[in-house]
Amino acid sequence: MNFIRSPKLSPRQAPLVPYRGSMVRAVLTALAAFPILGFTLLGSITGTEKVVLFIVGFGSVIFVHELGHFLTAKYFKVRCDVFSMGIGPRLCGWRRGVGFTFGRADIGPPMVVASVPTTDGAVSGADAQADASAWARTGAGPVGETDYRISWLPFGGYVRMLGQDDMDPAKVSEDPASFGKKPIWQRMIIISAGVTMNLIFAVLIFAFIFRVGVNFPPAVVGELAWNSPAAKAGLQIGDRVVSINHRPPQGFLEFTQLAMAAALDTGDAKISLQYVKPDSKTIHNVGITPVADPNNGMLSFGIGQMLSLRFGTMTPRELKDFITLLPQYKGIQSRDLIIAIDSIPVHGFAHFYKILQQCNGNPVTLTLQSHGTGKIRQLTIQPTLETRDWVNHFPRILGMQPRCRVAMVEPGTPAAKVGIRRGDIIVRINASVHPTIHGLQRAVKENPGRLVRLQVQRGSKVITFHPRVSAKGMLGVGLGYDFAHPVIAAVSRRAAAAGILPGRTIMSMVVPGGPNLASGGIFPIKSWFDMVTLGRRFAGQAIDLSFAGHHRPVQLTISNHDVRELSKLKYAINLPLSALMQLQKSHSILGAAKMGFGHTTAWIVRTYQTLFGLVGRTVPVSQLHSVLGIVKIGYTIESRGFTYLLFFLGLISVNLAVINFLPLPIVDGGLFLMLIVEKIRGKPLPVQVQTAIQTVGIVLLVAAFLFITIHNDLPMFFGH
């Protein structure tokens, strides 16, 4: 009787070398591909199920890649010892002739472990091993050659082919079923099958979601950065970009496509944008050259994403935290819809924004409609002044700056322990009177672990506190500006030369021009909002400012510089509004397939453009992310719905295909390049050269992964 098993072969017994580097290469391939996915949203990880779902999802992308290698290898009769879903130790699996088993399993050809009768009554071990190998190759024997397994870690998968070990090119096999014994053209197909499967997978994913339908933000101008190319070109909030360089998109133009067109621009020529005004079908054309965004270094038009008038979805805990931070919003509900502002019906954020900018700092009343019940209620909110995008400091208002106030106090911090409250106005820290926000932050950081003398104004009282600064140089407060009281904290050199001093309270502005208030008059100053309104209204004119306790007014001229500084400000009310979304959907299978193919090819091009941008330094390295960053992004995407997760997996699949086929060591493109060299030379590169190339590739990929993780992802996780 024959007793056949799948043994663990000793080195002396095993002339057949398994592809032991495959699992390592699968992991390194993933690490190489993920950083290019840094152009996307980030959120916070809280929810094990969502994280696990994403990990399994993006692991399936790597699994599909390895499936391409496996199917073509089997087609060309290359022996595959293992095909694994996941990496790491074996959890369970199945092998023909052995059945379904758990835990560790032997791989390789079956061995005869008892005597095998022949015509003379016995057979040598070598002959039995050769027979077993032949059974595995031909499938004639009872034991299959491949162990189909599930491994513990769901990070993709791998295939072990006979005769190829990327980690040790010296390990080859003379078996006809080995990878190295196949013709070069067959090996090229096997190597390239992984990226081919990834691209097919991406097309299918995109086609599916575009047939089902998925909401994406349209290319509508939601914000214009200060002094940006888009603002200079005359675009306005509410304008919709319908095409780029006169190329009609499939479906509608998405905001991501607009942003990527700027981010990946080569600078050879202006980018032509075709856009329409709200409620108009007339197409306008403008040429724009993107510039570096001062916030992140990326090339940009300076166009922000459009918002809707509906509040975002918030959990009860998130809603409670939001109202605790901003008590004036007490009463709002998740998914509320703004239908009017100051009794004026609004039909979009652009209309809402225009009305808000005309409020002159006065409280506004919002009419809200409940998402669930349709109940109508009103909420009165005090707007505040904020800087527009691309402005990195708060500008001085006619050469003067407001005092700073406490916008929030974190529980358990030094400020909270001594009794500092939200709304307190900072009037002194140590020897500095009426400090600016920057001055206060500097004074705190210079005294880690020490007590500081902090005076605040609370109503009509001035209270002194002595908080101890934390070892990290923090008090635990969020700071804003005291716009409600026109008290000066700091002045410019020009204002100081005119006689304006910190600590003074502005009482009125006198504009020469007679009794007609349209051209001049006496205007009381009750807040900094009045200063902004009048400064914009009387640009270029001479004014007199009077101050409390001082009878002699100060003369100033509202200069072009003052007007430029005021243009950096906008009124805001910090509502938790959701992004404007539009359904991207094809009503036919063929149309969805075209859209899927179009998105796949577009993202292939963008991935290459990103690589060229990294080389040309138009894409900052700070925008790249490793596995940690991608998992964090994937959690946020999954939270928006399953179709968004599928779309994100499609992007990963495209990135994996492109990066994996670059002519770099260890990845498929590097292996393909070495096959080309082998074809030209008529023989493979020397083993020592192959080993050196693979070693250098591994070192570079691991170093890049560690650099991106440490410098980009870990600070993101820990809030730095």
- In the 3-class helix/strand/coil scheme, how is 320-365 assigned residue by residue? HHHHHHCHHHCCCCCCCEEEEECCEECCCHHHHHHHHCCCCCCCEE
Q: What is the pLDDT of residue 625?
A: 60
Residue 577 near residue 536 (C-beta atoms within 8 A): no
pLDDT at 704: 74
More confident residue, 73 or 158: 73
* pLDDT top residue among 349 and 135: 349
Q: Write the Ramachandran bin of 641: left for phi over 0, alpha for psi from -120 to 50, otherwise beta.
A: left
Pairwise CA distance, residues 150 & 455, whole Å:
65
What single DSSP character describes residue 448? T
Mean pLDDT of 488-500: 93
Give the mean pLDDT of 552-578.
93
Q: Which residues of 188-206 are buried (b: 16+ CB within 10 A; e: fewer)?
A: bbbbbbbbebbbebbbbbb
Domain boundary assignment for the chain: 4-211+613-717, 216-306+580-584, 308-387, 400-561
* Residue 464: pLDDT over 80: yes
- Determine the 3-state secondary structure of 601 from DSSP: helix
The C-alpha angle 142, 148, 152, rounded to 5 degrees, equals 140
Task: Report pLDDT digits (tens) over 610-655.
Answer: 777 777 777 777 666 655 555 555 445 555 677 887 888 888 888 8
pLDDT value, residue 696: 83
Asked whether the domain spanning 400-561 has the same topology as the one spanning 308-387, the reply is yes
**Residue 403, pLDDT score:** 95
Going by C-beta distance under 8 Å and a sequence separation of 6 or more, which residues neighbour residue 101?
92, 93, 94, 95
Q: What pLDDT is recorded for position 132?
A: 46
CA distances in angstroms from 68 to 11, 86, 182, 638, listed in the order given: 30, 15, 17, 26
Distance separating alpha carbons of residues 294 and 49, to the nearest angstrom: 37
| Phi, psi angle pair for 478, to nearest 5° | -100, 140
Q: How would CATH label the architecture of 216-306+580-584?
A: Roll (2.30)
pLDDT of residue 126 exceeding 60: no
Min mean pLDDT across 41-55, 177-191, 225-239 is at: 41-55
So what's the pLDDT on residue 141?
52
> Which residue would you say has higher pLDDT here, 675 or 521?
675
Q: What is the pTM of this model?
A: 0.77
**Positive or negative: CA dihedral 577, 301, 293, 717:** positive
Other residues' Cβ atoms within 10 Å of the Cβ of residue 358 = 11
Q: Are strands 111-112 and 299-300 parallel, antiparallel or unpaired?
A: unpaired
Question: pLDDT tens across 203-252, in order?
Answer: 999 999 999 998 989 999 999 999 999 999 999 999 999 999 999 998 89
Q: What's 308-387's CATH class?
A: mainly beta
Q: Which two tokens stand for residue 279?
A: 């409620």
Q: Quickly name the fold that domain 400-561 has.
A: Pdz3 Domain (2.30.42)
**In the prediction, which pLDDT does 688 show?**
85
H/E run at residue 246: none
Instruction: Please state the three-class secondary structure of 141-198 as a single string.
Output: CCCCCCEEEEEEEEEEEEEEECCCCCCCCCCCCCCCCCHHHCCHHHHHHHHHHHHHHH
Cβ 248 vs Cβ 275: under 8 Å: no
Which residue would you say has higher pLDDT here, 102 or 113?
Answer: 102
Task: Look at the alpha carbons of 242, 247, 250, 255 in this order and tell me if their dihedral is positive or negative.
Answer: negative
Q: What is the mean pLDDT of residues 483-501?
A: 93
